[in-house]
Amino acid sequence: MNEKSPVPRLGCDLADRNDPAEIYQEASKYYRGSMERLRYTAGGADLGGHVRRMPVKSHPHVPGVRLPKPEAPPVPLLHALNARRSSPPRTSASVDLATVATLLYAGYGVTEGNGNVHRRRTAPSAGGLYPLDWYVAARDIAGVGAGIYHYDPLDHLLEPCAGADSLVHLESAVLSPDLVRRTAAVVLVTALFARSREKYGLRAYRFVLLEAGHAMQNFLLMAACLGAHATPIGGYFDSEIDEVLGINGVDESTIYAASVG
């Protein structure tokens, strides 16, 4: 390696250089006096020039489905924490739009602020950069056609992305197809890594995953409050799900999902 190379040096000699997880864990650590090095990775450098500040994806050319205002019964937090369970899907699952609207708001809705940038959400976000986008695969949501929608939290609406035939592909992309086949809806959380990598370099990947966990827990606790069945889904063929959503799996990739019914 060239002495002036900006590629980060592994700080801990115990890291197994053949194990990508250990290499990443080590390479993304903060060390006193060497935090800047995190930015100087090939990927991070690439991003610098062309990252667009896009706090949320938007599809203004298609008419969206306006979502009702979020509403929930006054359930104590302790009750919701005790009641939350990964529940198997019901056979005749159907949910109403109000439930979906409240769940999406709980997960990643906008709580305060104006304009398009730096509006605060229900979930904490490193640097307030909000790298996640949410999609809904609607199978049986009352009043909404079957298909895939993108959630726009700024305007609280669903934007159609793909038709009902995409649900078949989604089903086969999940390791437990019943989680899709027998539920009313599946939410899919994607990350647009550049939003966070621009500031945090290699450490961004940690932050993005942590944020998805925060947001999904909001979603699941709200499902418990509303008496809806919900199960987090991590078992899926990544590139097949990304293809269903029309994303390339590098700049934007699916990192989490959940079924609701």
Ligand X SMILES: Cc1cc2nc3c(=O)[nH]c(=O)nc-3n(C[C@H](O)[C@H](O)[C@H](O)COP(=O)(O)O)c2cc1C
CB of 234 to ligand X, least distance (A): 3
User: Nearest 5 degrees, angle CA 17-CA 20-CA 25?
Assistant: 90
Rounded CA gap, 65 and 97, in Å? Answer: 10
CB of 103 to ligand X, least distance (A): 16
Answer whether 147's CB lies under 8 Å from 139's CB: no
CB of 260 to ligand X, least distance (A): 13
Partners of 150 in beta bridges: 135, 159
Q: Tell me, what amino acid is at 155?
A: D
| CA dihedral of 104, 101, 231, 190, whole degrees rounded to 10 | -30
Nearer to ligand X, 125 or 231 (CB): 231
Nearer to ligand X, 34 or 86 (CB): 86
DSSP 38: G
Nearer to ligand X, 47 or 260 (CB): 260
The residue ranges that bind ligand X (CB under 6 A) are: 85-86, 176, 179, 231-235
DSSP H or E run through 200: helix 194-200
CB of 123 to ligand X, least distance (A): 16
Nearer to ligand X, 162 or 220 (CB): 220
Nearer to ligand X, 120 or 181 (CB): 181
Residue 91 buriedness (CB in 10 A; 0-12 / 13-18 / 19+):
exposed
DSSP H or E run through 134: strand 132-138
CB of 35 to ligand X, least distance (A): 29
Nearer to ligand X, 58 or 217 (CB): 217
CB of 176 to ligand X, least distance (A): 5
Lookup: tokens for 24: 């990443």
Residue whose Cβ sits closest to ligand X? 234
Rounded CA gap, 182 and 72, in Å? Answer: 25
